[in-house]
Structure 1
Amino acid sequence: MNNETKQSAKTILFTHYGDNWIRGSERCLLDLITHLDKQQFNAVLWCNQPLMAEEAKALNIEVYCSDFPLLLGWTAPRFDLFAFAGLIKQATQLIKNHNISLIHANSAAPCQWLTFAAKKNKIPLICHMHTSYQLRDRLTLGLYQTDMVVGVSDYVVAPLRKDNKPDTQINVISNGIDTQRLLAQPVVSLRESLGINAGDFVIASVGSLIARKGFDLLIEAVALLIEKEISVHLLLIGSGPEYGNLKVQSKKRGIQQHISFLGECENPVGLLRGNADIFVSTAREEAFGLVLAEASLAGLAVVAPDTGGVRDVVIDQQTGTLVATENVDAVVGAIEHLYFQPRLCFEMGKAGQQHVLNNFTIEQNTHKFQSLYHQQLSTATHKQAWYKSVALRWDLITSYCSALKNFYQNSTKKGLIHER
């Protein structure tokens, strides 16, 4: 890009708060930045994890990495006012140094201090939510002071609609995946090296090995299928703190030889295409289900819980089967049904792939965000006086007071606050 084009493009400050890994929300942001129209937008990233910073630097953009302590947050320190003020100051300096026109927060957490910096500098702030937040967090993170909240599904923004945040400040943009990059992953067959029997029905699942993803439910489902004398083998792609517990569970159920723990993999779609017959998720909660879209792109029929935003990604009885959350018997029944109907399984996989190509590509996602950026930049709502931006409706004020009261009472009980 020449200097003239770069100067005419608007600069967006992207912020990301997360753990030190590249998974769902991280990948979505990196793909978005990669596919931005560089003649229209420049990107600067401010994040709190070195791995995210490394990945972003490879995209040849300016990157800043620092700690993001939260007031009343989930980890200590919870009351560092000096650090909070420092984050506002640093945000203001970044806005000034890079002539920032708009801020895109890739999670709700940074909005806690970005609302102050954005209002002070009269630029719009978009909060991109990849999960839902309880009332306490919606209040303490400042979601009601953002110019626009974008959820990855209706499920994510439903609480804000219920709280009466104006509809003009709420949008839904589905996640997009880089279909070209994913389909370019080499197809690798591991069946022989893993000792999977030729006739085994291979079930695959991808995700962080955490309790919320419900892999313990999936292992139990595999055990029940084997008891029914259905030859299955489970491929688990991912890592996390539940790894040890899941290994113990599989051993207790006597099915360890039917499960392969593959850990983190750089080519999940290539592995799915080369090894799996079906994809199964038993997540206890799912805001969108990026792995479900990737599984469908790989041409696999999907069994998934009917929770959160999953119904947007998986069309029940067309691209897969939706089952009740935490219902192992329902999971077993859905897998068994597809096991005995390979043609249906194949047709669902093809339909799922087309559904993804029609609705969940990174090109579509980027186009929608760029349209939103232009819309936000062309409005004058962010130039209103500060007092107007915090003039919340009476019902929000009531909710806020109630939340503070509950927080005070809980803190007192736990000994965090001592009454005089």
Structure 2
Amino acid sequence: MKIFFFTTVFAPSVGGIEKLAEVLCAQFVAMGHEVRLATMTPGEGVFPFPVIRQPNFSEFWQLLRWCDVHLQSNVALKYAWPRFFTPRKFVYRYANAYQRDDGTRGAADHLKAALARRSTGIANSYYTARRTGADHVVLNAYDDAVFRDQRPWHERERDLVFLGRLVSQKGCDTLLKAMGRLRQKGIDPDLTIVGDGPERGNLEALSNSLGLTQQVRFAGKAVGFELASILNDHKFILVPSSYEEPFGIVALEGMACGCVPIVSERGGLVDAIAGHGFVFPNGDDAALAEVLAIALSAPDEARARLEGVDKHLARCTAQSVAEQYLEVFREKTGAA
């Protein structure tokens, strides 16, 4: 099958959308399919498939003529025209609920949501499917060749790890405030913050003001096997998004490395952990502090929540997710 994947963002940009596109396309190639990826992100990189950066209209049209199926990552109104010119080839992948952080929608969001409901689409979570009207749900893939549980629970020397971009919607400030509450009660877990972003300075200042300097380590960016090694040092992974996160690949990566997840309850993170962890109300640092106190006071009981997680993770391996996508493509186009 000839697959043309379009994503506005891609490596060297870092994020869940970018990583999923890379993992999925590499798996399609490994399964014997031809793949070409187009993106508006400039840069370089070596991939097992051609990457066409910032294509013009002629290049885009040639890719459409070449492919059996055209997969677009999220609804971008500027690039929605192939939906009308090549409808039998066209499939959306929804990793976005098309709403503001507070759950409301602007004019562009309403247009994107309306287009989504009238198109063949694959949602990355049951939450996203409800918000977009997607026909199919295929949970996001993680890189199972990299993220593996390689350290016994009782040998893990660190407590908490946060992984993500340091932006306000990811809720790292909520986590720090929760740790400040715990400190007042004499509970002082350590925290590693992996990632970078515009809020780093503010978060470092907040950590200092809460007296957490000795507990919190800002580790900067880490990817691949380096990141997997860091995760394997920790017992719990925190994904405290303040907004309704559509999914959360970082939760999969953490669980695959043996970390018990603690995540926000509104949005798709509950689909990502599938009951194998703890949840708390988005943005509620007091509630998060209570959950952390429970988990930290009985770590072995918390670890038991990962029992059976292998079955869930097997559904999210690169090969399994690629097979689920190909099934949708065959249903849509009739291609082999």
Instruction: Give TM class, smaller chain.
Output: 0.7 to 0.9
Distance 1:31 1:181, change over 3 A: same
CA distance in 1, matches of 2:110, 2:70: 19
1:282 aligned residue (232, 235, 240): 240
Alignment of 1:94 with 2:63, yes or no, is yes
Alignment of 1:235 with 2:192, yes or no, is yes
Task: Report what 1:32 is aligned to.
Answer: 24
Task: Report what 2:89 is aligned to.
Answer: 124
Task: Report what 1:63 is aligned to.
Answer: 51
Q: What CA RMSD, in Å, does the superposition of the two structures yield over aligned residues? A: 2.6
1:137 aligned residue (108, 126, 144): 108
Structure 1 residue 40 displacement after superposition:
5.2
Q: SS of the counterpart of 1:330? A: helix
What amino acid maps onto 1:365 in structure 2? V
Q: SS of the counterpart of 1:179? A: coil
Q: SS of the counterpart of 1:131? A: coil
Answer whether contact 1:239 1:263 (CA < 8 A) is retained: yes
Alignment of 1:370 with 2:329, yes or no, is no
Identity %, equivalent residues: 18
Q: TM-score, normalised by structure 1?
A: 0.70
Task: Report what 1:15 is aligned to.
Answer: 6
Structure 1 residue 242 displacement after superposition:
0.5
Structure 1 residue 113 displacement after superposition:
4.6
2:257 aligned residue (298, 319, 325): 298
1:5-404 alignment runs, 5 A limit: 10-18=1-9, 21-36=13-28, 41-51=33-43, 54-55=44-45, 58-66=46-54, 87=57, 89-96=58-65, 99-109=66-76, 112-121=77-86, 123-134=88-99, 136-141=107-112, 143-144=115-116, 147-161=119-133, 170-183=135-148, 202-266=159-223, 267-274=226-233, 276-285=234-243, 286-316=245-275, 319-352=276-309, 354-378=310-334
Q: Which has the larger radius of gyration?
A: 1
Answer whether contact 2:236 2:261 (CA < 8 A) is retained: yes
What amino acid maps onto 2:267 in structure 1? G
Distance 1:287 1:241, change over 3 A: same
Q: TM-score, normalised by structure 2?
A: 0.86
What amino acid maps onto 2:293 in structure 1? E
CA distance in 1, matches of 2:314, 2:148: 15
Q: SS of the counterpart of 1:225? A: helix
1:109-150: CA deviation from partner (whole Å, max 9, x where unpaired): 1xx354433543564211111111035335545734864111
Structure with the greater relative contact order (CA < 8 A, sep ≥ 6): 1 or 2? 2
Structure 2: 5+ residue stretches without partners = 100-104
Distance 1:377 1:327, change over 3 A: same
Answer whether contact 2:88 2:332 (CA < 8 A) is retained: no
1:226-272: CA deviation from partner (whole Å, max 9, x where unpaired): 11111311100011110011011111112122110011102322211
Structure 1 residue 30 displacement after superposition:
0.8
CA distance in 1, matches of 2:48, 2:285: 46
Answer whether contact 1:200 1:233 (CA < 8 A) is retained: no
Answer whether contact 2:252 2:313 (CA < 8 A) is retained: no
1:301-344: CA deviation from partner (whole Å, max 9, x where unpaired): 1211101112212244xx21111111111111111111111221
Structure 1 residue 204 displacement after superposition:
0.7
Structure 1 residue 178 displacement after superposition:
2.0
Distance 1:154 1:122, change over 3 A: closer
Structure 1: 5+ residue stretches without partners = 1-9, 68-85, 162-168, 188-197, 380-420
Answer whether contact 1:236 1:262 (CA < 8 A) is retained: yes
